[in-house]
Amino acid sequence: MTGLDRPRRLRRTPALRRLVAETTLRPRHLVLPMFVADGLEEPREIGSMPGVMQHSMDSLRKAAVEAVAAGVGGLMLFGVPLPEDKDATGSKASDPDGILNRGLRALADEVGGSTVIMADTCLDEFTDHGHCGVVASDGAVDNDATLHRYVDMALAQAEAGADLLGTSGMMDGQVGAIRRGLDAVGHTDTGILAYAAKYASAFYGPFREAVSSSLEGDRRSYQQDPANRRESLRELHLDLAEGADIVMVKPAMSYLDILREVADRSTVPVAAYQISGEYAMITAAAERGWIDRRASVLESLTGIRRAGADIVLTYWAAEAAHWLS
């Protein structure tokens, strides 16, 4: 056994393992996605995402304060309008009195300056057909007509106090259109979190309950094919050229190879979204006693960080931040 290479020496004690750890996970790396729903007096739990709420305005403020106190890096807000407020163009998305913009103002008033406030800049929650854009007469999503709506939405969100706008619709040219629209009216400091690689995933199911989606069919004509790798790099380079401040891969856990490639090439910070289905799977297995919940959550988040994410959007952000503190 003389001369045997012994890597185990550096795994022998917790102190040694901590000393040589290659990847860190800290509260500042985590962003909490939140849902604010119109017409609620009390928060309402999302059935397929135990522990995650559709918030009332009051509970949104309270949960935001608690998350910021735990040290999370940011909050990503999604709006859930009343069913009767949905229409073909998602007009409430750009209405200053729409639920998402009211929620953004509430967050800006409550925790603005102490965290990063992010907005979902997409129409799907607000359209009666559930698609992320304007639907043409032939049933296809009209890319360029949708860009005009995204600019309107972005301007309303910037006015409401968002620091970063999350361009999740996967329309061609969306980052550039929004950047030009913001700059033209003086919102040069509002940043863009570009969903550079967003895949048409089967793991989005619980999210559609969370936002009371009206979608029938799928979004495969604009979200990426899970079979494709090179396409994500094309999307990355386009978003960087159009002015993205941060780029994101979504989902995270089934696309860690994509995340690694994007992180290796990106000249801006990289985010990844641990989505609703990932949350639901770990939660369900833990509820049945099949896995250790806390250990599994932290291992999954560390894996996303190890694959190259500077920022991780996760529904466990506030809870994990407490653990890590």
Return the H-helix or E-strand segment holding 120. Answer: strand 116-120
With contact defined as beta carbons under 8 Å apart, do 300 and 317 qualify?
no
3-state SS track over 40-108: CCCCEECCCCCCCEEECHHHHHHHHHHHHHHCCCEEEEEEECCHHHCECCCHHHCCCCCHHHHHHHHHH
Both tokens assigned to 188? 């040069």
Q: Which helix (H) or strand (E) holds 33?
A: strand 30-37
Q: For 135-179, what is the HEC assignment?
A: ECCCCCECHHHHHHHHHHHHHHHHHHCCCEEEECCCCCCHHHHHH
Residue 262 vs residues 35, 258, 314: alpha-carbon distances, Å: 28, 6, 19
**How far is C-alpha 192 from the geometric centre of its chain's CA atoms?**
12
Under a CB-based contact definition with an 8 Å cutoff, are residues 62 and 34 in contact?
A: no
d(CA 297, CA 304): 11
Amino acid letter for position 18? R
CA-to-CA distance for 69 and 187, rounded, in angstroms? 28
**Catalytic residue annotation:** 198, 250
DSSP for residue 29 = G
